[in-house]
Amino acid sequence: MSPVQRGNPWATLGDGPLIAPSLLACDFARVGEQIDTVVAAGAEVIHVDVMDGHFVPNLSMGPPVVQSIRRVTDRPLDVHLMVTDPAYYVERFAEAGADSVTFHIEACDGADQAGEIISMLRDRGLGAGITLRPGTPAEAIRPVIEQVDLVLVMTVEPGYGGQEFMADQVDKIGDIRSWLRDDQRLEVDGGIKSDTIGLCAAAGADVFVAGVNVFRSPNIPAAIAGLRSAAAQARQE
């Protein structure tokens, strides 16, 4: 796979399914090595979960970590902001090397503020994504859905890796897919493994975030191949 140019990556990555391993589950003592492994196995995107300890209970990585990751991979960095003030971080992650930033509708004071953040991302040439917690109705993102490149449906509560997939989110995936244009992506994150990815793909998702089930697998290439195969099969049925 040829290197992806910096900037909004979503229109250049093909139809999918796209596998986006989540660095939240990697061994940070070997992060460069593990990124090389997932890229060699065909992962198209690297997913970066950012937590501020306020919007969600946990803390994770910030712009300096993303800057370091940027130096070791040409794959697009898909940054998911689980933070109280996403506007504050847009410039910082843009400078650190993010290619796309997804933020939570729950962190915004209405659709106008969400639209302003999307405009900030556009001004910096980045992909723009919107996401929502499992308990937030799909209608919450409807006012801005036409403005984004990607919608991320959380199939677990944000803030912790390794949670069980919430099957009641599959209908939400289908509803949101029906609102999207063909050029917009639908990503899912949470409990994605070989027996859940097909449900999401059949409902219309085409980008799949997987952390524990990739980085903690004894055979990372086989794990990625299995996810891709299960998603592709579900899309064909």
- Give the total number of structural domains in the chain: 1
Verify whether residue 149 is a known catalytic residue: no
Verify whether residue 99 is a known catalytic residue: no
What CATH number should be reported for the domain holding residue 209?
3.20.20.70
pLDDT tens digit string along 112-167? 999 999 999 999 999 999 999 999 999 999 999 999 999 999 999 987 777 899 99
Q: Which residues does 162 contact at the CB level (< 8 Å), separation at least 6? A: 25, 211, 212
Which one is catalytic: 78, 99, 149, 189?
A: 189
Which one is catalytic: 15, 49, 99, 182?
A: 49
pLDDT tens digit string along 13-43? 988 899 999 999 999 999 999 999 999 999 9
User: Is the residue at 4 inside a domain?
Assistant: no
Kindly report the pTM of this predicted structure. Answer: 0.94
User: Is the residue at 84 inside a domain?
Assistant: yes
Q: How far is CA 125 from CA 91, 119, 128, 169, in A?
A: 11, 10, 9, 31
* Ramachandran assignment for 53, one of left (phi > 0), alpha (psi -120 to 50 degrees), beta (any other): left
Nearest to 126 by CA among 172, 81, 167, 83: 81
User: Is the residue at 1 inside a domain?
Assistant: no
Q: What are the backbone angles phi and psi of residue 205, rounded to the nearest 5°?
A: -70, 150
Q: How far is CA 156 from CA 34, 208, 237, in A?
A: 24, 13, 26
User: Is the residue at 21 inside a domain?
Assistant: yes
User: Is the residue at 80 inside a domain?
Assistant: yes
The domain containing residue 30 runs over which residues?
Answer: 10-236
pLDDT tens digit string along 172-223? 999 999 999 999 999 999 999 999 999 999 999 999 999 999 999 999 999 9
Q: Which residue has the tokens 């930033």?
A: 101
pLDDT above 90 as % of the chain: 89
Residue 64, preceding bond cis, omega within 30 degrees?
no
